[in-house]
Amino acid sequence: MRCMVLVSAFWGVLSFTADAQEPTPLFNGRDLTGWEQVGLGKFVVEDGMLRTDGGMGLLWYAPRKIGDAVIRVVYRTLGKTHGSGVFIRIPDQPIDAWWAVNRGYEVQIDDNDDDWHATGGLYSLTKVVARPGKPGEWNVMEITLDGPHTAVTVNGIQVTDFREGDSVPRKEKSYEPDRGRRPDLGYIGLQNHNARDTVYIKEVSVRPLPRGGRR
C-alpha cells in the first residue's frame, strides 16, 4: 500500500493521500485535540472515550472538511431512551448547536423513536430500512460520503441510501432541519442531545474512498 503521511504541528492531525485506505483516527483517546465545542452541552474524555455531558451541544472536527470518505463511529448508549447524532456535510464552521441541524445532516442515534427519526437515518429526512442498533452495547456506524450520495450502515447492515435531490418529507416541527441540498464536502460533528441522555464514543475515524469513488 502506497501512502504519504503529513503531520501538522499545530493540529497534530494525520492526513493521507487518496491511495491510502487505512482509517485515520480523528479522536486520539486522550483529549479533544482538533475538536471544538459549541452550545451548552459538551463532551468529556473519560477512560479513553468521549462521553456526553450537560445540555444540547455540538463537538465538531475543526481541521478540515470531509468528503468522499467513510466515517466510522463506534458508540454505546446507556439504553434505548438515550440518543445522540453524527453530523455531516456542515458547509461552514458552526456558530451554535443549531447551525449543524439546519445546514448539515444529522445521522441519528436513537433506538426509541419512529422510523423517520431512528438510528442511522438522516433525521426526519429518510426512513430507515432496518433497525440493527443495539441499545446498551457497542455499535459500529459507518457513513459513506460519495459526492452527493450518503449511505449509512449500522453493525454492517445498510440503513440509509440517499442521494441529493431525492424526495423528502416537508418540515413539520420547528426542531427538524431546514430542507435543501447539502454540499459534497463539509465539517462533521457529534451531538450532545440533552442533559438526560448519555452516550459513549470510543472511535471516530475516516477512511478515504478509492480513487473514482463508488458512484
Is residue 1 pLDDT above 50, yes or no?
A: no
Cβ atoms 86, 59 nearer than 8 A = no
- Rounded to 5 degrees, φ, ψ at 88 are -135, 165
| Sequence letter at residue 75 | Y
pLDDT for 214? 53
- 27-43 pLDDT tens trace: 999 999 999 999 999 99
Q: What is the mean pLDDT of residues 71-87?
A: 97
Give domain 22-208's CATH superfamily. Exo-inulinase; domain 1 (2.60.120.560)
First-last CA distance in the chain? 23
Q: Which three cell numbers stand for residue 189?
A: 460533528
Q: Which of helix, strand or coil describes residue 99?
A: helix
- 150-186 pLDDT tens trace: 999 999 999 999 999 999 999 999 999 999 999 999 9
pLDDT for 4? 40
Report d(CA 139, CA 74) in Å as an integer. Answer: 6
pLDDT for 2? 40
pLDDT for 20? 52
Q: What is the mean pLDDT of residues 112-131?
A: 97
CA 113 to chain centre: 18
SS (H, E, C) 64-87: CCECCEEEEEEEEECCCCCCEEEE
Is residue 83 pLDDT above 50, yes or no?
A: yes
pLDDT for 22? 84
Q: What is the mean pLDDT of residues 183-199?
A: 95
Q: What is the mean pLDDT of residues 85-101?
A: 95
Residue 103 parent element (H or E):
helix 99-103
